Structure 1
Amino acid sequence: MDHNFKFLTLPHRSGEVANVFIHGYSAGHDMENRCKLRKYIPTSLHNCINIFAFWPSGHWAQFDSASSSGVAALTRINALAGAGAAAIDRAMHFNSSRNRATDMGKQLLGQLERYLIKHHPYVSKVNLVGHSLGGRVVVGALLDLLDKPDYEGLEVGEVLLMAAAAELSAEQAQAIRQRTKCKLYNAYSEDDRILQLNLGEDSIGRRPIDNFEDVMNVHMKSFGHTDYWENLEKVLRKSRFHGYTGGLPRSNQPEPVIKDPDPVVTDHLLYDLLELTSDRIRGQVAKHLRSSSWTKLEAEPALYPLTQELQLLGGHCLVNLARGRGLKYVQILLMLAQHYGLVNELHDCAQVVEMEALLISKCFHSAFGEKHLLASRQDIFQHLEAMTEQGYFEQVDALAASLTVTSYFSTPEAPAPAYRKGDSTLPSGSTEIALASASALSALSDLIPTERIKAAVTNLKSAVKPGYSALIPAVAILFHARLKLNNEGLL
């Protein structure tokens, strides 16, 4: 299991203090949830650098192949036995995540320091905010410092534990306080029923830390376990957390509640991107969507139908037809990542643009082999930046051609890439790399290696699945648009 954090600095950063937010169990597990968590950080938390630290916390609904097959086998024999096995498996899964949280805590400050040196070398102090098992990560990091008296790394200023699924005695809290000089806030609620499932421990997320006056116990009356992120502003205000007490005053105007939000307009990562990008790029997206018989688009579609048709290509066409809507853009990306077997790599993606880069580089690799200039996730940003826009569109056209059934009876090749004149960022000889197709049946004799066979099978599935041959190149164009627009709120 990966023990690396994926850090993401949120927009509107300033100052020399970093607030680091750490999620708990069944959170931060996919891009959709990561985008949701990011929105909970209030804009009034200013004069700080706000960073989310994503870790492989696991999710209660995600079974590995061994667990799912075992539960399924017992269910076929007896439904109650299958339900019992599923409950036991999930309990073991949580316990595994709980142990991992402790281990991740020992890695936190070291990995965070390396990230800050690279991206924010002027940061002098960090504040830590952890929810649920994220609180356990923070506690683990602080307790680990007690065993490192010579550590002279990051200075910890304030620590806010929210519904922490961890134990911490007054003696331990006092030792942490003496070691780090940090301010410690414990936001708790006795109404938190979820923490009762943290068997074998008396979680501080349900009680105050007694007998130690330097801990500020913040009683969040009637809070359930999942209420903290949605009400983060209230928790920060009540605890007087750093960077918030000096923030903007809370508006007296209630936020508008939108009933039955339009799934097209509210898909900001897609709708807003298409709205802000150029007509030329929208035209390229529409061109690829029209290549599918599953879409009905005019020659120059308006923004709304263009977004709607792209959403409808995601998921199952009959299900979409029945419910009257398609998938959100991040759900489409996850669907394609599963199609290309990239689920394990998604932990390294904290932004949508990183997820797109992972997916698009895999598409080019699968279609044209590892020597294609856009087949490397590490290099795709550099090469796309150096290419002319028309040159990239030609590469995407070649990718689209490789995703059709007819490509298996021909040998489509990617054209030589066109770069901007005078660009000096490219490796020497890069334009001379061969770009041979890996998908044609006529070249099947070259597909003996297992990876190439898998690539050929995946390409065939892409060609025959409804809408995929149009959806994949459309996503490639959107990836280009997102990079060119470089809007932090849409990355």
Structure 2
Amino acid sequence: MSTQFKFMTLPHRSGTVANVFIHGYSAGHDMEDRCALRKAIPSSLHNCINIFAFWPSGHWSQFDTFISKGIWATARVSPFVGAGAVAVDRAIHFNRSRNRASDMGKTLFKQLDSYLLEHHPYVETVNLVGHSLGGRVVISALRERHNNPPDDGLVVGDVLLMAAASKLSGDEASAFGKLIKGKLCNAFSSSDKILLFNLGETSAGRNPVDNCKNVEMTDFGHTDYWASLEKVLRNCGFQGYQSGLPASSLAQTMVKKPDPVVHDHLLYDLLELTSERIRGQVVKHLRTSSWANLETDQSLYLMAKELQLLGGHCMVNLARGRGLKYVQILLMLAEHYELVNEMHDCAQVIELEAILISQFFQSSFGDNHTLASRKDILQQVRAMSEKDYFEQVDALAASLTVTSYFSTPEAPAPLYRKTQSSQPNLSKAVALASLSRWSSLSTLIPTEQLQTAFTNLKSAVKPGYSALIPAVAIVFYARLKLNNEGLL
């Protein structure tokens, strides 16, 4: 498991003070959740630099493949024993994440200092906000800073612990108070039942702690802090919030049933702002699917809706009248191409798109295709003309059809090919032949190549995928060219 933080600076940054937010267990584990956490930061903090520090906290629903098989085998014998096995395994999983939070805290300031030096060298002060196990990360970081004083020159202002899943003694709090220039705040709630599962420790998130500024968040549950972050900041007198504009003074329009198409900002807003030429390419690829029903090129709403409908199970989507949000589609494709482990390195949507696009071209045309390189795909696409990139995506779309398994399309414009690769041809041949001869071929052909072949075949036969994949490649291009910070 990675021990690296993935830092992401939010839009609307200004000033020389950085607020660093750290999530807890079962949070920030995928792109959808990271987008939700970003939205929790109130506009009243726009006078600061706001940074999320994502770390591999794990998720309660993520089971190891071996463990999962063992639990299913146990459940077949007895549902009660199976349920007990799940409970024990999740307790072990949480304990591992708890230990990892402590380890991550020991490296927080070192990694943060490197990030600030590269991206925000003018930052003078950092405020820390940690929720749940994120609070444990912060406490561990302060403990490390106290035991081994650094020379990084960072000034720590306010430290806010929200529902901290960690013990904190009054003596430690007093020692930490001498390390920081601001307040050490402990936002706690005795109504937080989730912290009762933090066995073996009295969590600061449920109790006041001596030598802290204790702020009781009455009736708050464990998950209420991010949703009501502005209230927490106001009650605690958080430094960055005090100097900001109170967003609560602005009238907020509440939408009871938001339109899933219009409110998919990463897709709808992007398509609205991009050029007609690029939107035309999206429509062109969507129309190749028999599951799409686009009758006009002009309807932005229908274009976004049809793309959503191709995500997930097409029949289910058609029955309920809506598809998946764009970020959910990206996560679905990441699972399809077995790229789940790479998602920790993606703080922005465009970073996940870039990994997917390189995988699309690698699977269809081999490692030697220029766009198959994850390392420099952004630079390669920026260097391409619009016409050349569209031609490459057209070739990608052609390679995703079942008929392409009987004729091998090649990517056009050899200028963008490093060398010719025979892997695509072999992959298609393997995919067809292995339907009936998997065991014999597996001894002759590397497993990785067989997996690629089957993934390609699944992409060709899954309803809507042959249109969805090139459409996503065009959306990625639109995002890259638009370069709107709020939509990255």
- What TM-score range do you get, normalising by the shorter chain? over 0.9
What does residue 110 of structure 1 align with? 110
SS at 1:19 equivalent: strand
- 1:341 equivalenced with 2:338 (yes/no): yes
Query: In structure 2, do the counterparts of structure 1 residues 20 and 412 end up closer, same or farther at CA, with 3 Å as the change threshold?
Result: same
- Which of residues 281, 306, 317 is equivalent to 1:284? 281
CA deviations on 1:59-87 (whole Å, 9 max, x unpaired) are 11111112211111111111111111111
Alignment of 1:14-163 (within 5 A): 14-163=14-163
CA deviations on 1:79-121 (whole Å, 9 max, x unpaired) are 1111111111111111111111000101111111111111111
* AA aligned opposite 2:199: L
1:254 CA drift (Å): 4.4
1:440 CA drift (Å): 5.8
- CA–CA distance in 2 between the matches of 1:441 and 1:15? 53
Which shows bigger deviation, 344-353 or 312-321? 312-321
Query: In structure 2, do the counterparts of structure 1 residues 53 and 148 end up closer, same or farther at CA, with 3 Å as the change threshold?
Result: same
- CA–CA distance in 2 between the matches of 1:358 and 1:346? 9
Which shows bigger deviation, 300-309 or 19-28? 300-309
What does residue 165 of structure 1 align with? 165
- CA–CA distance in 2 between the matches of 1:92 and 1:439? 46
What does residue 243 of structure 1 align with? 240
Q: TM-score, normalised by structure 2?
A: 0.94
- CA–CA distance in 2 between the matches of 1:253 and 1:383? 44
* AA aligned opposite 1:136: R
The answer on whether the counterparts of 1:186 and 1:209 sit within 8 Å (CA) in structure 2 is yes
* AA aligned opposite 2:420: A
- CA–CA distance in 1 between the matches of 2:12 and 2:422? 44
1:452 CA drift (Å): 2.5
The answer on whether the counterparts of 1:411 and 1:437 sit within 8 Å (CA) in structure 2 is no
The answer on whether the counterparts of 1:387 and 1:417 sit within 8 Å (CA) in structure 2 is no
- Which of residues 365, 376, 394 is equivalent to 1:379? 376
* AA aligned opposite 1:60: W
- CA–CA distance in 1 between the matches of 2:375 and 2:58? 26
SS at 2:179 equivalent: helix
- Which of residues 287, 296, 305 is equivalent to 2:302? 305
- CA–CA distance in 2 between the matches of 1:342 and 1:309? 25
Task: Flag structure 1 segments of 5+ consecutive residues without an equivalent.
Answer: 419-429
1:383 CA drift (Å): 0.7
- CA–CA distance in 1 between the matches of 2:150 and 2:291? 64
* AA aligned opposite 2:11: P
What does residue 326 of structure 1 align with? 323
The answer on whether the counterparts of 1:159 and 1:182 sit within 8 Å (CA) in structure 2 is yes
Alignment of 1:219-234 (within 5 A): 219-234=216-231
- CA–CA distance in 1 between the matches of 2:428 and 2:8? 45
CA deviations on 1:276-318 (whole Å, 9 max, x unpaired) are 1111111100111111111111252411111111111111112
Query: In structure 2, do the counterparts of structure 1 residues 276 and 178 end up closer, same or farther at CA, with 3 Å as the change threshold?
Result: same
- CA–CA distance in 1 between the matches of 2:6 and 2:424? 33
The answer on whether the counterparts of 2:368 and 2:418 sit within 8 Å (CA) in structure 1 is no
CA deviations on 1:387-418 (whole Å, 9 max, x unpaired) are 00010000001111111111111121101267
Query: In structure 2, do the counterparts of structure 1 residues 343 and 169 end up closer, same or farther at CA, with 3 Å as the change threshold?
Result: same
- CA–CA distance in 1 between the matches of 2:425 and 2:334? 19
- Which of residues 410, 413, 419 is equivalent to 2:410? 413
SS at 1:269 equivalent: coil
What does residue 436 of structure 2 align with? none
What does residue 457 of structure 2 align with? 460
The answer on whether the counterparts of 2:311 and 2:329 sit within 8 Å (CA) in structure 1 is yes
* AA aligned opposite 2:44: S
The answer on whether the counterparts of 1:128 and 1:158 sit within 8 Å (CA) in structure 2 is yes
CA deviations on 1:165-200 (whole Å, 9 max, x unpaired) are 011111111112223444211111111111111111
Query: In structure 2, do the counterparts of structure 1 residues 254 and 440 end up closer, same or farther at CA, with 3 Å as the change threshold?
Result: same
The answer on whether the counterparts of 2:158 and 2:180 sit within 8 Å (CA) in structure 1 is no
1:321 CA drift (Å): 2.1
Which shows bigger deviation, 187-196 or 177-186? 177-186
1:437 CA drift (Å): 6.1
What does residue 422 of structure 1 align with? none
Percent sequence identity is 67
SS at 1:469 equivalent: helix
- Which of residues 355, 366, 369 is equivalent to 1:369? 366
SS at 1:179 equivalent: coil
SS at 2:157 equivalent: strand
The answer on whether the counterparts of 1:189 and 1:221 sit within 8 Å (CA) in structure 2 is yes
Query: In structure 2, do the counterparts of structure 1 residues 74 and 442 end up closer, same or farther at CA, with 3 Å as the change threshold?
Result: closer
The answer on whether the counterparts of 1:264 and 1:271 sit within 8 Å (CA) in structure 2 is yes
What does residue 421 of structure 1 align with? none
- Which of residues 397, 406, 414 is equivalent to 2:394? 397
The answer on whether the counterparts of 2:184 and 2:213 sit within 8 Å (CA) in structure 1 is yes
- CA–CA distance in 1 between the matches of 2:311 and 2:467? 11
Q: TM-score, normalised by structure 1?
A: 0.94
SS at 1:140 equivalent: helix
- CA–CA distance in 1 between the matches of 2:298 and 2:81? 54
1:435 CA drift (Å): 5.8
SS at 1:374 equivalent: helix
The answer on whether the counterparts of 1:40 and 1:230 sit within 8 Å (CA) in structure 2 is yes
Query: In structure 2, do the counterparts of structure 1 residues 118 and 252 end up closer, same or farther at CA, with 3 Å as the change threshold?
Result: closer
- CA–CA distance in 2 between the matches of 1:279 and 1:359? 24
SS at 1:141 equivalent: helix
1:154 CA drift (Å): 2.1
- Which of residues 292, 296, 314 is equivalent to 2:293? 296
- CA–CA distance in 2 between the matches of 1:294 and 1:437? 31
- CA–CA distance in 2 between the matches of 1:220 and 1:439? 62
- CA–CA distance in 2 between the matches of 1:120 and 1:181? 20
1:348 CA drift (Å): 0.4
1:153 CA drift (Å): 4.0
1:349 CA drift (Å): 0.5
- CA–CA distance in 1 between the matches of 2:247 and 2:111? 34
Task: Flag structure 2 segments of 5+ consecutive residues without an equivalent.
Answer: 434-440
The answer on whether the counterparts of 1:410 and 1:440 sit within 8 Å (CA) in structure 2 is no
- CA–CA distance in 2 between the matches of 1:360 and 1:108? 32
Q: Going by fraction, where is helix more abundant, 1 or 2?
A: 2
SS at 2:283 equivalent: helix
RMSD over aligned CA atoms reads 1.8
The answer on whether the counterparts of 2:427 and 2:449 sit within 8 Å (CA) in structure 1 is no
Query: In structure 2, do the counterparts of structure 1 residues 395 and 435 end up closer, same or farther at CA, with 3 Å as the change threshold?
Result: farther
* AA aligned opposite 1:434: Q
- CA–CA distance in 2 between the matches of 1:82 and 1:132? 28
